[in-house]
Amino acid sequence: MSERARIEEQLQRAFEGEAWHGPSVREVLVSIAPVQAAEHPLPAAHSIWEIVLHMTTWHDTVRRRLAGEAFMPTPAQDWPAVTDTSESAWRAALADLDRSYRDVRSALASLDESRLDEALVPGGSTGYVQLHGLVQHDLYHAGQIAVLRKG
């Protein structure tokens, strides 16, 4: 199995299921209602909804970097504000997260394996670091969401 295929498998496990550590991103988001997603059970912590928007930003950021774009989200892009807490807005946020995941998987599938050892953009980290970082990022936030669900 190629390294790219291994990374793709880890990204899939972290997001879709059968992750070694426990529930994947999709599994931990099952049956969360908009009101719960918008709550701040821990006053100094982000809400589940804010975390979902943040994860979408980073899927899109890595995808853009895989395409050679030297992109760094602004603080407002990194942690977008939740301005609409309706059911339709929550469904749209979840759909956008899924779309961003599919887009980064598609970009990874077409990535030349040699790019894993190269900086994706001048002065940036390698494809290997960016992609493994994204897997770690998804798992970190899946854990946060699991804690917030219980709060």
Identify whether the C-beta of residue 127 lies closer than 8 Å to the C-beta of residue 6: no
Look up the CATH number of the domain holding residue 17.
Answer: 1.20.120.450
At residue 42, what is the residue type? L
Name the band, by pLDDT with cuts 50, 70 and 90, for residue 151.
low
Question: pLDDT, tens digit, for every residue of 15-38?
Answer: 999 988 889 999 999 999 999 999
> Which structure tokens are listed for 32?
């969360």
Question: pLDDT, tens digit, for every residue of 60-103?
Answer: 999 999 999 999 999 999 999 999 999 999 999 999 999 999 99
Q: How far apart are CA 51 and CA 57, in angstroms?
A: 10
Which residues are within 8 A (CB) of 108 and not within 5 positions of it... i.e. 6 or more apart? 4, 7, 8, 11, 66, 131
How much is the pTM? 0.96
Number of domains in the chain: 1
Domain that holds residue 13: 3-150
